[in-house]
Amino acid sequence: MTVEIARHWRLNAQRYSLVGEECPTCHDKIFPPRDVCPHCAEAAGPDFHFSGKGEVFSHTAIYNAPEGFETQAPYTVALVKLKEGPLITAQLTDVQNDDVQIGMPVEMVTRKLAEQGDEGLILYGYKFRPQLAAA
Amino acid sequence: MQGGEIIRGLMRDVSIIGIGQTPVGEHWSRSLRHLAYDALSLAMRDAGTDRVDALYLGNMLSGEISGQAHLGALVADFAGMRGIEAVKVEAACASGAAAFRQGLMGVAGGYQDVVAVVGVEKMTDDVGSKVTAGLASAADADYETVHGVTFVALNALIMRRYMYEYGLSKEDFANFSVNAHANGANNPNAMFQRAISQDTFMKAGVVADPITLFDASPMADGAAAVILCPTELAREFSDNAVRILGSAAATDSLAVHDRKNPLWLQAAETSAQKAYKQAHIGPQDIDFFELHDAFTIMAALSLEACGFAEPGQGTRLAVDGEIALDGRLPIATMGGLKARGHPVGATGMYQIVEAALQLRGQAGKNQLAGPRIGMTQNIGGSGATIVTHILTNNLNQ
Ligand SMILES: [Zn+2]
């Protein structure tokens, strides 16, 4: 239980506010954060706060959910291309699956991700919804 | 300079002297250890040996599904070989070929003379959501799986973007599935032994849009095994040994979203190019290709990354019939993952056993006309580990 919480607690900055990094060498914006820049292999740099704005790069709907997600099915997952560059995997929310399209502008919101284990640990983190002022 | 080039000249040439496999399917009465032993004993009998120096086991989910880690010692003991070196190798769905490569290195490096490699997976011992979660553990736990992403979903995300960028429709993928099922129909070890029509493919139910039932390979139980030894000793055991011409493994980011181009299997390209170089050949010299068609999209991407098609053109080989048994590059000649079935950690070993059957002229109704060089490629996760092998029935050269 304690170990499980620590595993998620240490990711709070990423899950709640999309904190990544900017590489001091090649200036690529990096999410998720790493110890080493994946593009130039230099030590990755200072925190970078992503805007949470982006567009749908690809999407699908999940009907046969893995353990811990059964009660949410069906739900939509997407690769979102963040405005600052990186792709990110997340669920889409506040939208019908049939209305999702590649290229659709989306923005980050914080929602419940999953309920895990018998202790009922609830995980919160980022999902994306259609941009309210898309135009 | 590629790693391994300098010392490769000092290593021993290695051949496959025995093969064995169990039927792929739901083995209610056979546990993990039984399945492994079934394939292992068949391979040892085929090689005519009653001892091996070491056992390498390719397996992904023994811990998650059967509550069983420490598989190497378990199977060695169960098979009556207590005392030998034995270890499990795990690289998600690429566990089978990754284990094969460990066996190859053990023999090539002179640490062992006769080695057994077994790929084994038992997937029907738990409920669907637990197996789905187990498979998803091949993805990035903190940044993919935590969002409820499944293994099918990752492939669906790649496939939808691929269709969008290259202007393809579902029909373009149909022949990958039709071809696999046609070939599986003649494989007595295949899970599905019935041909399907293009129409059946097009009408199949959605699994994770755009992936439908006949894009996806089925989960299953199964085990496949080989016995390896130095090529110079191979004739003492076997008159139809199969020699390993090339072997390479490469990695990519674990997460799909961390790739510069999620539509390109970089680890497939890297491992294939290394294997071609070791074999002193190119893609034009490959007579058939046992590729990793866990999903139709993976077949297309694998063909492109290995140099058989330009980016975005992988499905053309299927549409034009070039992947059929009588085509320019037969693939999935015994049914592939799609029809033979995909017992994840065993799949890479099934591919190698099937390639050996073709090269030994023992592929039955699916026998190709005198193939000399076959290639196998085993993909782990959504492409993070990819292992490529090139095999030949020409022991001299
Ligand atoms: Zn950098």
B206 and B68 assigned to the same domain: no
Separation CA B300–CA B384 (nearest Å): 17
B268 and B196 assigned to the same domain: yes
The confidence score (pLDDT) of residue A19 equals 94
- Are A44 and A92 contacting, i.e. CB atoms less than 8 angstroms apart? no
**Apex B360 CA angle, B78 and B379, nearest 5:** 65
Does residue B137 lie within any of the structural domains?
A: no
Is the preceding peptide bond at A86 cis, omega within 30 degrees of 0? Answer: no
pTM recorded for the entire structure: 0.96
B109 and B190 assigned to the same domain: no
Beta bridge partners of residue B18, listed in sequence order:
B227
- In angstroms, the separation between the Cα of residue B135 and the nearest Cα of chain A is 9
Residue A12 touches chain B, beta carbons under 8 Å: no
> Which residue ranges in chain B fall short of pLDDT 50?
1-2
B118 and B155 assigned to the same domain: no
The confidence score (pLDDT) of residue B16 equals 98
B88 and B208 assigned to the same domain: no
For the stretch B22-59, pLDDT in tens is 999 998 899 999 999 999 999 999 999 999 999 999 99
- Are B261 and B255 contacting, i.e. CB atoms less than 8 angstroms apart? no
- Residues of B serving a catalytic function are 93, 342
- In angstroms, the separation between the Cα of residue B71 and the nearest Cα of chain A is 25
For the stretch B150-198, pLDDT in tens is 999 999 999 999 999 999 999 999 999 999 999 999 999 999 999 999 9
Residue ranges of E strands in B190-297: 206-208, 211-212, 222-230, 242-251, 288-290
Sketch the domain layout of chain A as residue ranges: 2-130
Q: Helices B296-305 & B174-184, crossing angle to 10 degrees?
A: 100
Pure H helices in B219-288: 231-237, 266-279
B158 and B114 assigned to the same domain: no
User: What is the number of structural domains in chain B?
Assistant: 2
Which chain B residue has the Cα nearest residue A64? B129
Domain holding B9: CATH number? 3.40.47.10
B233 and B249 assigned to the same domain: no
B207 and B224 assigned to the same domain: no
DSSP B226: E
Domain extent, residue B119, equals: 5-127+220-237
B143·A89 Cβ contact <8 A: yes
Q: What is the ipTM of this complex?
A: 0.93
Does residue B224 lie within any of the structural domains?
A: yes
B317 and B373 assigned to the same domain: yes
